[in-house]
Structure 1
Amino acid sequence: MLRELPDRWIFGVRDSRVLRAEMHADVHRIELANEFLISTDAEVELADASMTDLAHAQATVVGDLAMLVGKEVASLVAFKSGVVRIVLRPGYHVVISPKGSEQTSIRQSGIFEWIGFRGNSEMAVVRDQE
């Protein structure tokens, strides 16, 4: 399920798991259940989401995405500014903020594709989910 708000898209992937997370040819790929694929050439940052004030949480760039495999998704949000936030259980926030010519895409095969880049994004819905 997709839900559009004025400043973001919310993807209905709550309780799904990260099936695969890897990097190939400078592209990070995170595969979720239900054929959701997130890919980016931007840096992937990880923060401890157990902090009550995320604005002050220390984010670190993730080099090895394998640590995300098996984690449960609490939420996946793509902001119209091009930023992606994934909240994982237990206790992680993954943030992808494209800079320069970097791009991030979120797609579900045959359903939609969202592309985010610095300051903007585009959504193409192929068919509505029932």
Structure 2
Amino acid sequence: MRRPKSLTPLFLLPALALMVPFVIYPVLKTIYLSFFLDGKFVGLENYKNVLLSPDIINLDRFPAKSPPWGALIHNIVWIAIHLPATVFLGLGIALLLRRKEVKGSSIVKSIIFLGMVIPMIVGG
């Protein structure tokens, strides 16, 4: 038995009731405020100032000299090292624990699972 299509939007209302005030409104308000400085409309001037700031990109020190290279370059380097390392390390551990002949794999799986569940329990 199919339910009428007119009821479909009603099922979206609880999710929208939480998303609008806590996600959508703050994102739109942040974008709106990014075009103002001290209550005065400045357009894209804030974006230009941020992108031209030596705190964001400092190519004078990159790559031969030591950090700081600027926030943007620092984040790119961090992502280039951290993301592949965690993905491949996690995949390797998962493949290793998948085998039944590895002793203590069920205990390690339980510890990993507890590390993911406990923060949710505490938060709840």
TM-score, structure 2 as length reference: 0.17
Which has the larger share of helix?
2
Q: TM-score w.r.t. structure 1 length?
A: 0.16
| Higher percent of residues as strand | 1
Choose between structure 1 and 2 for higher RCO, CA contacts under 8 A separated by at least 6 residues: 1
